[in-house]
Structure 1
Amino acid sequence: MKKTVSFSTRGQRADIGDLAIYRMLPNRYAQAVGPFVFLDHIAPKQHNADAPRMETGTGAHPHRGIATLTYLLHGEAEHFDSAGHHARVTSGGIQWMKAGNGVIHDENLNPDPGEATGLTHALQFWINLPAQHKAEAPAYLAVQAQEVPQKPLAEDKGWIKVIAGSYEELTSPIPSYSEQFLYHLHLEAGQQFSLDTAPGVEYAAFLLENDAVLNNDKHQAGEFVEFDRAEGVLEVTNESYAALDLVLFGGEHYGEPIVAEGPFVMNSKAEIAQAYRDFFNGQYGQISYSKANPVA
């Protein structure tokens, strides 16, 4: 039996500077999918070859109670935070930061010097931490493209990358605090991919730049699609004459209360208030751009 689509949406514009951003999650239908409570699609942007590179960040800001995960489809992202972490990740790589009990971070986004496309294109997720991990110290991990687990699909149908969680024998280096998965699926023209789902696990898809058929329903590029909670098969079909790319993500239901306000995701309003007090009292530290410790 195939899973059915609960809803689909195209998100809301939430631009930063000259970057076109579409906020896909949360939306009017869903607050979370598994541990994922936030998804921004940083739309593809073509940069002129003579355009100046961004040398400073887009704006330092705090987080608490979550881990951020940025999957860089095209471009180069540079990260700084108040715990002293600093790294650059290029096309195909991942940046993961556990905000834990509070951190300030900043990042910039530029074209990848190793690509001739001049493109920037990325996805940013927030992963809600279980209550017991919200009080832990911040941490950071930079995963370059060659370190992301990937395998070809049978019969040359395409390939799959494991950004978070596991798929068959592949396991992502991104830490998991509850059951979670995030896959980048590349499916060649006329091909089909099936995923057997598990009970108690929530599933969603985001179509990057191509249309796709999901369990017999046609969906367009830029759509966020969530599936029902019933156990069944999740089937992706590419009916076009070009390859398609999409992400599949989700995980076990987050059973604790979710209270989100601004950059903080906690379990109660009192904890949100405390997160703001601690931030304004300077307890998250400051970014020292010149002294940040490089992360291998």
Structure 2
Amino acid sequence: MSPSDLGQTLKPFVFLDIFDASKATIRTMSNMPLHPHSGIATVTVITEGRMRYNDPAIGSGTIGYGGVEWMRAGGGVWHGKEMSADDVPRIQGFQLWLALPPELENNEPVSRYIEAEDMAHSGPAHVIVGSYEGVQSPVPAPEGINYLLVTLRPGERWTYRPPAGHTVGWLALAKGLLHAGAPVDAGEMVSFAQGETPIVLEALTQEDAVFVVGSAVPHPHPLHLGYYSVHTSAQALEAGERRIAELGRNLGDAEARRTASGTIPVLR
């Protein structure tokens, strides 16, 4: 999903990417260049393996299944090397972008690394963003957005009940085979008809079904797109791109900020 296609329908969810690297190709992930964002929040969850983080202002640790990297880019950041792969045979996960409301899209950036043991869960679902069945995520996200990471055992059924007002809904499957009104295979994303109808899900094979599901109150603003930025107006986009250009002029110092573990903290 990108902001120029399905993101227009599912906003505030505007971008989704699945990343998947084996032991032999994990090095390729570390070669990702630093790049900017403004106007959005990024949400990174791991479905297999672990990533290390190390930020002198925040601390260090690992993000595995059930944990999250939350980065509210707001008025502008450069990032891409703030996490590195742990010593694992495979890294798989999702990165999601959320369009921010006008009061946050050019606000101060915020980064959080929350490990799995500190995340809330309800049944088979880790509540990554939002609140579900009385369980509140520790992620400081805007209200009206839910994002869950779920694993169903073979043959297990689970029903997602969108909160009131959440008429935007979708899911994406990382592993296994899932029935969601129709079969959904690994690597596929599906969106649901607008409304608050409960979504009945069932794992169909002898393999766990691992997926993310999102629902939200619709984002009421048009999307104004830059190359790495999404804003609610042309003026907000101009301000965000101006700020990331200013930050970009300091990228020459990025290597000096590299930590002993090889990460480069988010440049705010």
TMscore range, shorter length? 0.7 to 0.9
Q: TM-score by structure 1 length? A: 0.75
The answer for the alignment partner of 1:186 in structure 2 is 151
Give how far 1:135 is off.
2.4
CA deviation after TM superposition for structure 1 residue 69, in Å: 1.0
After superposition, the C-alpha distances for 1:110-151 in whole angstroms (9 at most, x for unaligned) are 5433x5xx1111211111111011221111111012112224
Distance 1:198 1:131 in 2: 23
Q: What do you get for the CA RMSD once the two structures are aligned?
A: 3.0
Contact 1:210/1:220 (8 A) holds in 2: yes
Pair 109,277 (structure 1): closer, same or farther in 2 beyond 3 Å:
closer
Deviation at 1:242, TM superposition (A): 2.6
Question: 2:184 matched to 1:219?
Answer: yes
Q: 1:264 Cα deviation (Å)?
A: 0.9
Q: Does residue 161 of structure 2 align to residue 208 of structure 1?
A: no
Query: Structure 1 residues 77, 285: closer, same or farther in 2, change over 3 A?
Result: farther
2:111 matches 1:137 = no
Identity within the alignment, %: 23
Return 5+ residue gaps in structure 2 as ranges: none
Residue 175 of structure 1 deviates from its aligned partner by 1.1
Mapped partners of 1:244, 1:65: distance in 2: 33
1:106 maps to 2:77: no
Normalized against structure 2, the TM-score is what?
Answer: 0.83
Asked if 1 retains the 8 angstrom alpha-carbon contact of 2:178 and 2:203, the reply is: yes
The residue that corresponds to 1:121 in the other structure is 92
Pair 1:42-2:15 in alignment: no
Give the 3-state SS of the residue equivalent to 1:219 in structure 2.
strand
Gaps of 5+ in 1: 1-23, 153-158
Structure (1 or 2) with the greater strand fraction: 1
Aligned partner of 2:257 in structure 1 is 289
Equivalent in 39, 63, 77 of residue 37 of structure 2: 63
Q: Deviations over 1:229-288 (max 9, x none)?
A: 133221102222232111111211001221122111112234323333333344885445
Q: What's the secondary structure of 2:239's corresponding residue?
A: helix
- Whether the 8 Å CA contact 2:52–2:61 is kept in 1: the answer is yes
Q: 1:240 aligns with which of 205, 210, 213?
A: 205
2:211 partner SS: strand
CA distance in structure 1 between the partners assigned to 2:90 and 2:83 by the alignment: 10
Q: Distance in 2 between matches of 1:236 and 1:137?
A: 38
Matched, 1:90 2:63: yes
Measure the CA separation in 1 of the matches of 2:29 and 2:169: 38
Aligned length: 257
Q: 1:57 to 1:239 in 2, by over 3 A?
A: closer
Q: Is the partner of 2:33 in helix, strand or coil?
A: coil
8 Å contact 1:47–1:111 — kept in the other structure? no
Conservation of the 8 A alpha-carbon contact between 1:80 and 1:106: no
AA aligned opposite 2:257: Y
C-alpha contact (below 8 Å) 1:35/1:178 kept by paired residues: no
Change (3 A) 1:178 1:284: farther
- Cα pair distance change 1:80/1:270, threshold 3 Å: farther
CA contact (8 A) 1:278 1:284 kept: no
Contact residue 78 and residue 89 of structure 1 kept, 8 A = yes
Q: Report the secondary structure of 2:236's partner residue.
A: helix
Distance change in 2, residues 1:109/1:102 (3 Å):
closer
Of Structure 1 and Structure 2, the greater helix share is in 2
